[in-house]
Amino acid sequence: MELRHLRYFIAVAEEKHMTRAAERLGIQQPPLSMQIRALEKELGVQLFRRQPRGMELTDAGVAFLDQARVILEQVDRALATTRRTARGEQGRVVVGFTSSAPFHPFVPRVIRAFREMSPLVSLVLEESGSSELVQGLHDEEIDAAFIRSPVADVVGLTVRPLLQEKMVVALPKGHPLAGSARKKKSTQTRSAPLPLADLATETFILYKRPGGPGLYDTIITACRSAGFSPHVGQEAPRIISTLNLVAAGLGVSLVPESLRRLQMDGVVYRRLADNAQLTAPLILACRRGENAASVQRFIDLVQSSAEHIEADSELR
CA atoms of 79 and 161, how far apart (whole Å): 37
Statement to judge: residues 206 and 227 lie in one domain: yes
16 lies in the same domain as 157: no
Number of domains making up the chain: 3
Give the CATH number of the domain where residue 307 resides: 3.40.190.10
Quote the pLDDT of residue 253. Answer: 94
240 and 194 within one domain: yes
Cβ contact 194:169 at 8 Å: yes
Task: Say if residue 21 is in the same domain as residue 122.
Answer: no
Tell me, yes or no, whether 17 and 71 share the same domain. Answer: yes
pLDDT at 312: 67
**Final residue of a domain: which of 54, 70, 86?**
86
pTM: 0.69
Q: How far apart are CA 286 and CA 90, in angstroms?
A: 19
Per-residue pLDDT 10s for the chain (316 aa) are 788 889 999 999 999 999 899 999 899 999 999 999 999 899 999 999 988 888 899 999 899 999 999 998 888 888 877 776 776 667 889 999 988 889 999 999 999 999 999 998 999 999 988 888 989 999 989 999 999 877 766 788 999 999 999 999 999 999 999 865 444 443 333 468 899 999 999 999 988 765 556 778 888 989 999 999 999 998 887 778 889 999 999 999 999 999 988 888 899 999 998 777 788 889 999 999 888 889 999 999 999 999 988 766 655 5
pLDDT score, position 245: 93
Q: Are residues 201 and 261 in the same domain?
A: yes
Phi, psi of 132 (to 5 degrees): -65, -35
Helix%, strand%, coil% for the chain, nearest 5: 45, 25, 30
Q: Are residues 190 and 47 in the same domain?
A: no
Domain with residue 80: its CATH number is 1.10.10.10
- Do 186 and 266 lie in one domain? The reply is yes
- The residue segments making up the domain with residue 62 are 3-86
Q: Are residues 207 and 129 in the same domain?
A: no
